[in-house]
Amino acid sequence: MRDRGSRRRESAEPPDPSTAMEIAVRFLSTRPRTRWEIERRLRRASVEEPVVESTLERLAELGYLDDAAFARWLGEQRDRHAPRGQRAIEAELRQHGVPREVIEAYRGEHAAPARAPEDQALPGSEPERAREALDRHLHGRPLPTDSKSLQRIGMFLMRRGFDPDTVRATIRAAGADADGNADEIGAPGH
């Protein structure tokens, strides 16, 4: 413990540009990051402002910092592993410091994303994402028919960022698929 503290006192000098770049690259090595995340990491490491700016500019020049690419990556990760609605993805992008104009530009891409041939099986629309989230939630079990269970499932999908109309349509479609009669399945909250 004592060694750590003494090392910190010895290295009271702020990191130089090469050390700042090393910190940023190490931080980027685990997953893509936004400009805001890298900036925060460098400030936490006590990097001086001019060095922070030059490091961010250099990383952007090299193509390692691109908030629009980060938004596409995050949306694809959610589609691949835990489908979410547009509202949830946009909220997550805001949490990562993605600027509003980038989120607005991404909104159109998220509605109908361009996919590589190997990714064609991923959900590409909001209803497809909701159905995928529902199917994963049910784990192969049939859709329940009691209203309390349907409300819980509806709330689960709403927490995943899907709007109420999409949730109702998804549950109705799943009910119709299950028994061929969507009229017997009530919408959550009704």
Show pLDDT as tens, one digit a residue, over the chain (190 residues): 445 544 444 556 888 999 999 999 999 999 999 999 999 999 999 999 999 999 999 999 999 999 999 999 998 899 889 899 999 999 999 999 999 999 999 988 777 777 677 677 787 788 999 999 999 999 989 999 999 999 999 999 999 999 999 999 999 999 888 765 444 444 444 4
- pLDDT of amino acid 69: 94
- Between CA 62 and CA 70 the distance in angstroms is 15
- pLDDT of amino acid 179: 67
Identify the CA nearest to 83 among candidates 25, 167, 182: 167
173, 135 Cβ separation under 8 angstroms: no
The model carries a pTM of 0.77
- pLDDT of amino acid 165: 95
Identify the CA nearest to 137 among candidates 121, 149, 125, 120: 149
- pLDDT of amino acid 6: 44
How many beta carbons lie within 10 A of that of residue 26, not counting itself? 10
- pLDDT of amino acid 136: 93
